[in-house]
Amino acid sequence: MNALVYHGPGKRSWEAKPKPIVQKPTDAVVRIEKTTICGTDLHILKGDVPAVTDGRILGHEGVGVVEEVGAGVSNFKKGDRVLISCITSCGKCDACKKGMYSHCADGGWILGHLIDGTQAEYVRIPHADNSLHLVPEGVDEDALVMLSDILPTGFEVGVLNGKVKPGDRVAIVGGGPVGLAALLTAQFYSPAELIMIDLDDNRLAVAKKLGATQCVNSGDGKAVEKVMALTGGKGVDVAIEAVGIPATFDVCQDIVAAGGHLANVGVHGKPVSLKLEKLWIHNVTITTGLVDTNTTPMLLKTVVAGRLQPRQLITHDFRLDDLMKAYDTFANAAKEKALKVIIRRG
């Protein structure tokens, strides 16, 4: 089969690899029908994730068809159409028993990281019973690819950790796919204000279409002043950080209201300074997290019902054997006006 293979910082290729096989009774092999590229894949290619070694097939999102299952898999059979979770989980260890699948003792985020991933014609999925979801009949499978990672990430780590409530003022710093996923799913809770902050006017225009009540371009360095002006000087009840750099975390620290929540979603590579001299008296809760994907079954229902429409996040379409080109486009997201790219077999 062919696959997108990482060969050290800055190096990737589309090349022949052996087709994966069932290695353990709990494995399934899935034929990839659709996949996509994540911002995390770009981090890997920059060399920011040293655990990813030369020769690794990238990708942790996708929809496919079960090709083969091990003797211990009871929920799925050959021919089933499945959504692949970006998090692999055994369902049995201490972390899994708490619903914290991201910290599974024999899983977590391993696809396209510690084991070969989904940007290939086939992928091996360990602990298939707990790490795959059956695709409901007639559902838009392109939209479902958004449920492998970005929708549960924006929802769990942004909206749920941030405790968004009806009537809240919510600000999201970063209008990339995950920030927009938080924007879409925050609306389950009817917040009064949904303020999107980004440097890119195109992304702000998309945010406006997807339900942002206010958009703030932070290019002039005055995001904090603008948000304070929009909130009568009070700040926001929930500040969701969806970028992962010190400047955007600082904006969140400066706009979170007394009693508010700061939910960090961004992947940070550098230390940030905590403004405890200001926040100690502010009754603020700061949360961090990696997605557990235990909300995926719920999100799946909202997509089937049409309440959530993640197809809106897809801007580009490629064939699997054009994955190299898809990376070029996704890596130049601002210029190409790219959010999520869908990559389909044949």
| Contacts to Zn ion by CB under 5 A | 38, 40, 89-90, 93, 96, 104, 149
Instruction: Provide, rounded to whole angstroms, the least separation between the CB of residue 91 and Zn ion.
Output: 6
Strands 169-173 and 236-241: parallel
SS3 (DSSP) at 195: strand
The DSSP line for 206-273 is: HHHHTT-SEEEEGGGS-HHHHHHHHTTTS-EEEEEE-S-SHHHHHHHHHHEEEEEEEEE-S---S---
Q: Which CB sits closer to Zn ion, 149 or 156? A: 149
Instruction: Provide, rounded to whole angstroms, the least separation between the CB of residue 336 and Zn ion.
Output: 19
Our CA dihedral for 148, 150, 152, 155, rounded to 10 degrees, sits at: -170
Instruction: Provide, rounded to whole angstroms, the least separation between the CB of residue 107 and Zn ion.
Output: 6
- Residue 136: CB atoms within 10 Å: 13
Q: Which CB sits closer to Zn ion, 39 or 162? A: 39
Q: Which CB sits closer to Zn ion, 26 or 40? A: 40
Instruction: Provide, rounded to whole angstroms, the least separation between the CB of residue 307 and Zn ion.
Output: 23
Q: Rounded to whole angstroms, how far apart are CA atoms 221 and 217?
A: 9
Q: Which CB sits closer to Zn ion, 124 or 340? A: 340
Instruction: Provide, rounded to whole angstroms, the least separation between the CB of residue 40 and Zn ion.
Output: 4
Q: Which CB sits closer to Zn ion, 94 or 225? A: 94
The residues near 10 (Cβ < 8 Å, ≥ 6 apart) are 45, 46, 47
Count of all residues that appear for the chain in the document: 346
